[in-house]
Amino acid sequence: MTSITDPDISDRFTSGMEEIHNKHLGAYADIIDTTVELSQSHRQFVKSALDTCLKKCKDDEKLFETIQTFKRDLDQKSVWLKEKRHAISETVSEVQEKEMQKEDIIEKIQKLKEEQTKRKEGIESQNKANKDRLKNLQKARLVFQDHLGLEIRTILGKTQLVKGEKLQFVFRNINPSDQDSAYVITMGIKENGSYQIVSSDPVLDCLSVLESRLQETNNLPAFLANVRKEFISQARC
C-alpha cells in the first residue's frame, strides 16, 4: 500500500480524477450528442407527423365537404324521388280512371249498338208492316174504288191530333135517295205502326169497336166494308 505521505499521490489522485472526469465528460458528450441527435430526429418526426396531421385534416375537411355535398345531393334526390313517386301515383290513378272511363264508354257504345240494332230491326219490321198496310190499302182501293165508288184522298192534318199525312176514304152510293152524298172516314198510321181512326162524317157510334177489331186483325178491307155497312145502316134509319 502506497503511503499517504507519498509526494506523488496527490498528482496521481488528481490525474485519476481528471481521467475519470474526462471519461464522464466524454460520456456526457456522447449523451448530449445522442440527445441532440434524438431531439433533432424527434423534431423531424414531430414536424413530419404535424405535416401529416395537417394534410390529414385538410383531406378530412375535403372529405367532410364532399360528404356534405353528397348528403345535399342525396336530400335533393330524395325530394325529387318523392315528387316522382307522387307524380307516378297520380299518373297511375289517372290511367286507372281513364281505363274505367274507357270500359264505361265501351259499355255505353255496346248498349248503343244493341239499341241501334233493335231500332234498326224495329224500323225494318215497321217498314215491312207499312208495306203490308200499303198493300192492304191498294187492295181496298181496287175493291172499293172500282166496284163501290170509293174515293181515297191524301190530306194533311191542321191540328196537333191529326198532324201529318192522313188518308181520307170517301164513300158514295150509300144513300139511295142521294147517290152522290159523301160519307167520309179519316185515318192514318201511328208511330208504332198501328192504324189510327181520326174521325168519321157522319159520326159512327160503333167506330171505336171497329177500330179495335182493325187493330186485332189488321184487315183494312174488312174494316172498310164494315164501315160502309154502318154508313148504309145509318142512312136507312
What cell numbers appear for 187 in the block?
185515318
DSSP state string for 169-196: EEE-S-BTTBTT--EEEEEEE-TTS-EE
Cα–Cα distance measured from residue 120 to residue 215, given in angstroms and rounded to the nearest whole number: 23
The whole-model pTM stands at 0.42
224: Cβ–Cβ under 8 A, 6 or more apart, which residues? 140, 144, 150, 169, 185
206: Cβ–Cβ under 8 A, 6 or more apart, which residues? 230
Would you state the pLDDT for residue 137?
65
3-state SS, residue 118:
helix
| CATH 3.30.70.141, applies to 130-236 | no
Closest CA to 151 of 138, 164, 168, 135: 168
Q: What is the pLDDT of residues 90-104, one digit of tens each?
A: 888 888 888 888 888
Q: What are phi and psi of 159, to 5 degrees?
A: -115, 165
Question: What residues does each domain of the chain span?
Answer: 130-236
Question: What mean pLDDT, rounded, does the chain reach?
Answer: 80
- Which ranges of the chain have pLDDT less than 70? 1-8, 130, 133-134, 136-148, 156-165
Quote the crossing angle between the two packed helices 207-217 and 220-236, to the nearest 10°: 160
Would you state the pLDDT for residue 4?
53
CA distances in angstroms from 216 to 82, 210, 222, 224, listed in the order given: 75, 10, 12, 15
Q: What is the pLDDT of residues 2-21, one digit of tens each?
A: 455 666 677 777 777 777 87
Burial environment of residue 193 by CB neighbours within 10 A (0 to 12, 13 to 18, 19 or more): middle
